[in-house]
Amino acid sequence: MAFHGSLFDPRAGTAQPLAYCRGLAQAARRAGARIFEHAPITRIGHDGIDWIVVVRGDAVYATHLLLATNAYAEALEGAPDPAFVPVYFSQFATAPLTGAQRATILPGGEGCWDTGRVMSSLRLDRDGRLIIGGVGNVAGPQGAVHRAWAARKLAQIYPELAGTPFEHEWSGAIAMTADHLPKVVSIGPRALSVYGYSDRGIAPGTVFGRAAARALLHGDPTALPLAIAQNHTERFKTLRTLSYEVGATAMHATRPAPFLTHRHPR
């Protein structure tokens, strides 16, 4: 048995994160925003009136400032480093399933995830690829363990897909916090840093972004779903990152039992 029970919430859905990001960018442009790609900020400062944001030696002045760099925060002089534990998550995608397979596998396009500490997830993309995800870095030294786990997990949940190869795999960092809640930290006058979505930032990130913009522009901290902290720290970050990867590798090496790799439907 793969799961002891489940909760079905018909309000939920899935999104393609890159397409969603591009859609948000288009909407922002239509609303008058200017977007600069490949423009890393290296330093920020405040001159008593405005924020000065330095991008490759050029200065940009701003009355309000929102840092939203989450797990990919790059070193920034003049601002405290966002405190979170970087944890890797990997995804594996099959070829598009056949019509017959799609009729029985997540037929409503449901996105699923479990509540395990070394959590895993399942969903279909637009073309019907089954995407299985789990904690651990497939691009790291233990990649083969995570890849083999994904194949066994697929066979455990859907025996009819045993032996189906993965056509794509990728991984990225997520920003975990100790209580798994995002953090909103003040970094000076009319300036906030928002991060730490703990693997749940796609929809919440949009909500927090809008709320943070309102809080800054109207000077109204109650627009935010969480109180603004003056600072935030996380303990034993390196150790905890390591424990997630080692824990995920140990779990993926042994569960589900490796013999399932070779199981085929009769």
Ligand X SMILES: Cc1cc2nc3c(=O)[nH]c(=O)nc-3n(C[C@H](O)[C@H](O)[C@H](O)COP(=O)(O)OP(=O)(O)OC[C@H]3O[C@@H](n4cnc5c(N)ncnc54)[C@H](O)[C@@H]3O)c2cc1C
| Residue numbers at the binding site for ligand X (CB under 6 A) | 17, 40-41, 68-74, 76, 89, 91, 171-174, 197, 199-203, 205
72/236 with CB nearer ligand X:
72
Q: Are strands 112-113 and 85-96 parallel, antiparallel or unpaired?
A: unpaired
18/100 with CB nearer ligand X:
18
48/141 with CB nearer ligand X:
141
User: What is the distance, to the nearest Å, from the Cα of residue 202 to the centroid of all Cα atoms in its chain?
Assistant: 7
Query: 3-class DSSP state for residue 131?
Result: strand
The distance of closest approach from Cβ of residue 15 to ligand X in the complex, given in angstroms and rounded to an integer, is 8
The distance of closest approach from Cβ of residue 10 to ligand X in the complex, given in angstroms and rounded to an integer, is 18
Q: Residue 63: how many CB atoms within 10 A of its CB? A: 12
Residue 129 phi, psi dihedral angles, 5° rounding: -75, 140
SS percent in the chain: helix, strand, coil, step 5: 30, 25, 40
42/263 with CB nearer ligand X:
42
53/97 with CB nearer ligand X:
53
Total count of residues recorded for the chain: 266
Find the angle CA(209)-CA(210)-CA(214) to the nearest 5 degrees.
115
**Residue 77 vs residues 52, 104, 149, 158, 232: alpha-carbon distances, Å:** 12, 53, 41, 50, 17
The distance of closest approach from Cβ of residue 173 to ligand X in the complex, given in angstroms and rounded to an integer, is 6
The distance of closest approach from Cβ of residue 108 to ligand X in the complex, given in angstroms and rounded to an integer, is 17
The distance of closest approach from Cβ of residue 232 to ligand X in the complex, given in angstroms and rounded to an integer, is 15
Distance CA 253, CA 249 (A): 6
The distance of closest approach from Cβ of residue 55 to ligand X in the complex, given in angstroms and rounded to an integer, is 8
Report the residue closest to ligand X, judged by CB. Answer: 201
200/262 with CB nearer ligand X:
200
